[in-house]
Amino acid sequence: MDKVVHTQWVKSVKIWVDITNAPHAHFFKGIIRELEKRGHEVLVTTREFDGLTGILDMLGVDYYVVGKHGGATLEGKLLASSERMYLLSRLIIEEKPDMALYKHSAEAPRVAFGLQIPSIGFVDNETAIGQNKLILPYTKRLLFPKAIDAYELLKCGADPNGMRPINGFSELAHLYGFIPSKKPLKELGLHSHSYIVMRTEPIKANYFNGDAEKSVLENIIPLLPDIPIVLFPRTESQKKRFEHFENVIIPEHVTDSLSLLYYAKLMIGAGGTMNREALALGTPTISTYPGKLLAVTKWLIGLGIKFHSTDPLEVSEKAWELMRKNGTFRKHIRSIIGSMENPIDIFLKEIELYEEYGTFPVQEIAAESVDKK
């Protein structure tokens, strides 16, 4: 499922990639492989968080573990981020990379800025204001989905001359090298297109302002009693709240979630990443996120390929409808997704341009930014 444009670059460079969240491993795996194919040296840093090192091991990516996640409290986040920035600084001073790449990393842009290393960052969550204020002012080239109003990023300090909107969303990059496998289905005792995948709320995220003590999915599952549900909780407390449901299966170890999404009849998610991964694969998706919707989510809803509700009855009715007309709707999703830009291509092109000209070309962001109603 690759759609990567191959280019010939001017010279070999050393690229630093900072991966701070589990989905970012899938986002950068294709970029890392394509850089290596072109003869470039890639330095990957990460942190201890949410099974991230296990995912990188599964993907065959070499990395340095630098720091850890600070937990749900502001105090914990501040201390962990401060320590990680110090440790990263020492490593990067020694390694001397030519460029830094990251997605929503709070530390990498500041380290790169302090050491005068050109950087390319990807941001797709305009509601994470605190984090964005630590990222955008220090990012040389900012890539973002065109669904986001550029003004929201400018308010957080983005350089208007360094912004580049793309016609797509980040999870399209997750499909790099993807070949569907039925192995995870066999491990869980499932058959193709006979189950639903669910994902709980991102209760540890700094932008989450919902109720961390309950999930909207708890009231939806009883309305879907006759179909197996593969559920991905984010914490042990979330896991315990779903263990009593007879039709819920919770994987016990890191698994090939993309294959599970590919063969699923439906995805119902209270987060964002797995919802968009499902859509990238052509799987019908319902969002149940309880907070303010991201611009990307609104855009996908507007395109008619994604649905949103936090009302259990509405969700269950839509679920049965989508499962009835599954094949037709999959074709509709894939026809729209097929016209979008892949972030991998954009990253590689931007790196190539910088290496050739020593700067990033100025983009006309105002005309390309979507004005959301």
pLDDT band per the 50, 70, 90 thresholds, residue 223: very high
Q: What is the mean pLDDT of residues 157-186?
A: 96
**Confidence class for position 213, pLDDT limits 50, 70, 90:** confident
pTM: 0.88
User: Which two structure tokens, joined as six digits, stand for 207?
Assistant: 């932008």
Least confident of 27-41, 48-62, 256-270: 48-62
Residue 44, SS3 per DSSP: strand
Cα–Cα dist 117/102, whole Å:
13
Helix (H, G, I), strand (E, B) or coil at 214: coil
Could you tell me the pLDDT band of residue 89, with boundaries at 50, 70 and 90? very high
Which amino acid is residue 30, in one-letter code? G
| 225 contacts: CB under 8 Å, gap ≥ 6 | 247
**Per-residue pLDDT band at 248 (split at 50, 70, 90):** very high
Residue 42 reports pLDDT greater than 70:
yes
**How does the average pLDDT of the chain come out, rounded?**
92
According to DSSP, residue 224 is labeled: -
List, in sequence order, every beta strand (DSSP E) within the chain: 14-18, 41-48, 64-68, 99-103, 119-122, 141-145, 163-166, 196-199, 229-232, 248-249, 266-269, 285-287, 307-308
- pLDDT score for 207: 64
CA distance 229 to 39: 43
Q: Which of 364, 308, 303 is nearest to 339 (CA)?
A: 303
**Cα(202)–Cα(131) distance, integer angstroms:** 15
Residue 15 three-state SS: strand
Mean pLDDT of all residues in 61-84: 93
Token pair 């090939």: residue:
256
Please, which residues bridge with residue 122 across strands? 103, 143
CB 137 within 8 A of CB 157: yes
Length of the chain, in residues: 373
